Structure 1
Amino acid sequence: MTTIATTTETTTELLPRLRHCTGPLHEDIEALLRLEAPMPIARYGRIVQGFHEFLTLWEMRVRHALPERLRPWFDERQRAPFAARDIAALGLTQDLAMRDAARAAQHRIMLDSPATAIGSLYVLEGSALGGQVLTRQLAGQGLTPDRGAAYFHGYGERTGAMWREFRALAQDTAGGDAASRTAACKAAVQTFKALIETFGALDR
């Protein structure tokens, strides 16, 4: 059983606290997906489908929880369309097991405020950085952003700048008081757990 990191708050900086409270779960999802290991195309396709099914619901919920002024910002960062492109490029049929797992996992995430939206976003925004490493491996298998690797390529060279922008916005939105920071951490933990539940169907 994973032990979730807890800490007495000693800083008003949000991102270090998010990293601390989700550290073990980050390791768990990495061990589950094994993205850096050699990967058959069939397994890769199921991973893309899992993200697509998860994000299709999650992105709608996050958008609703964000304040209206941030919704155009969020619209430019949505990644479900990238996964949909990959599914089409790879000629994949609907994966009912991944769909059902992704839908069931949504109940784990409470998205009822801007702070919880930011905490949940932290998980997926951080995964976009890791995707840049995987893109190089996928290229060796003949997968490119135009042919099956759009999701992990994401916004390519813009990804680092977008992460820095997110960090600043997250602090401004959810780092101003202890209650908001706590809510953001709780949502980040819930989001990791929901992803782990979703991808529990991966090797079945």
Structure 2
Amino acid sequence: MTTTDATIDTDLLPRLRRCTGPLHDDIEALLRLEAPMPLMRYGRILRGFHEFLQLWEPRVRQALPERLRPWFDARVRSPFAARDLAALDLPEDGADAAMRASALAALHGLRLDSPAAAIGSLYVIEGSALGGQVLTPKLLAAHGLTPEHGTAYFHGFGARTGAMWREFRQLAQTEAGADETDRSAACDAAAATFRALIATFAPVDAAGAAPPRSS
């Protein structure tokens, strides 16, 4: 093994990119955040993230070492999605109900049984905070939505988002990049998290996919 190969093998973030690249492409093709975004479709995407994150966040927190839990608590984003859904007040349809069921099933099959697995799963959600910001100006132009009313989730932490991503990269390498067992667990969890998100969002274009639940 050359020095270059060894560096690549032990640097966690490039390895995570390699092991999840096709899955990242799959979810981008599914969500199509750069395409024109009708308001109802946007609401379904928000619903999917909210349903997923409100189940995922407690599990990641539990898997992380106690010393990292305050760090994680400062980064949770499900409250942003809940705020947007309340602001938009869109009627639920069959796709919303289907995504709720899909998120529950997808999270049931996602193993987060070690700190390294939590870091790998976090890689997916932390990275999505960067990509999601491309949507906010389009939603402002198309629907008049702002971070204060309807785009809090995709706006996220605003100007701090880039710095938070760099902080995560450093922490991920420290916490899960030094040992091959941890690197492998992180990659497995990252891929599994992408698959869980893809399963959650499968109904996003399928209005009427399932009957809405009665209140």
Question: How would you bin the TM-score normalised by the shorter chain?
Answer: over 0.9
- C-alpha distance 185-8 of structure 1, shift in aligned 2 (>3 A): farther
What's the RMSD between the two structures over aligned residues? 1.5
Aligned-pair CA distance for 1:8 = 9.8
Cα distance in 2, alignment partners of residues 34 and 61 from structure 1: 28
Residue 166 (structure 1) aligned with residue 168 (structure 2):
yes
The AA in structure 2 aligned to 1:20 is: R
* Residues in 2 aligned to 1:197 and 1:191: alpha-carbon distance in whole angstroms: 10
Aligned residues: 198
> Does structure 1 retain, via aligned residues, the 8 Å contact 2:37–2:139?
no
- Structure 1 residues 18-40: Cα deviation after superposition (integer angstroms, max 9, x where no partner): 00000000000000000000011
Q: Is the 8 A contact 2:8 2:14 kept in 1?
A: no
Structure 2: any 5+ residue segments left out of the alignment? 207-215
Q: 1:151-182 CA distances to partner (integer Å, 9 max, x unpaired)? A: 00000000000000000000000001100000
Deviation for aligned residue 1:9: 8.8
| Displacement after TM superposition at 1:131 (Å) | 1.3
Which is worse superposed, 183-192 or 128-137? 128-137
* Percentage identity across paired residues of the two chains: 70
Residue of structure 2 equivalent to 1:199: 201
Which of 20, 23, 27 is 2:21 aligned to?
23
> In the aligned structure 1, how far is the partner of 2:194 from the partner of 2:19?
11
Q: Does 1:103 align with 2:104?
A: yes
The alpha carbon displacement at 1:150 in A equals: 0.5
Q: What's the CA shift for 1:10? A: 4.7
Secondary structure of 2:10's counterpart equals: coil
Q: Is the 8 A contact 1:174 1:181 kept in 2?
A: yes
Q: Which runs of 4+ in 1 moved over 4 A?
A: 7-10
Shift of 1:107: 2.5
Deviation at 1:136, TM superposition (A): 1.5
Q: TM-score, normalised by structure 1?
A: 0.94
Rg larger for: 2
Name the residue aligned to 2:209: none
Q: Which runs of 5+ in 1 are unaligned?
A: 1-6
What letter corresponds to residue 21 of structure 1 in structure 2?
C
